[in-house]
Amino acid sequence: MSITYGYARVSTERQNLDRQLVAMRDFGVQEGNTFLDKFSGKDFQRPSYQRLLKKLKPGDTLVIKSIDRLGRDYREILEQWRIITKERQAAIVVLDIPLLDTRQKERDLTGTFIADLVLQILSYVAQTEREAIRWRQAEGIAAAKARGVKFGRPPMERPELFYELREAWKLNLISARKAAGQLGVDHTTFLLWVKSENNPC
């Protein structure tokens, strides 16, 4: 019999898991099947995550609140996605991005294909955007320094998850408020970030 598991993670002991746990409970994940970690995503030597991977069997389902719970960057996220869906042959459901749902419905592989494709696109776009932004920032700083501009406090750096959520928002997969909530900012800040990325100085 297939089992539905949940996985929740926060980076520090002071952060709260409640939001993730409520979402999983609402989805129908039983409390005894939810695995929790309070470690950073810098590696995957996390006890609960490792126990979860050992339990996953073909046909099981893993539910996570957001895709960044699997890792700190897209290389790691894609690798864990591969392990879970290909090696373990389990399904993944990402609650914040409905298209990232690999559960097969009526033996139709289309859902799995679309989920894999969306993940690849979001990963590629986010990675290339980060590289392009770094290049533009370095070029702009060099030009400003050449003009004698002195820099004060740097602007707030966009979290890595911002680029994935921005693309999901553009595809109407998530609202600005939900995206902002995941980033821990006001939705107006999220929209200003989107505007500034679309119109770099």
Q: Which residues are catalytic?
A: 11
- Measure the CA angle with vertex 125, ends 120 and 128; round to 5°: 120
State how far the Cα of 146 lies from the Cα of 47, in Å rounded to an integer. 50
- Give buried/exposed letters for 151-189 (b at 16+ CB in 10 A, else e): eeeeeeebebbbbbbbbbbeeebbebebbbbbbebeeee
Instruction: Say if CB 49 and CB 37 are below 8 A apart.
Output: yes
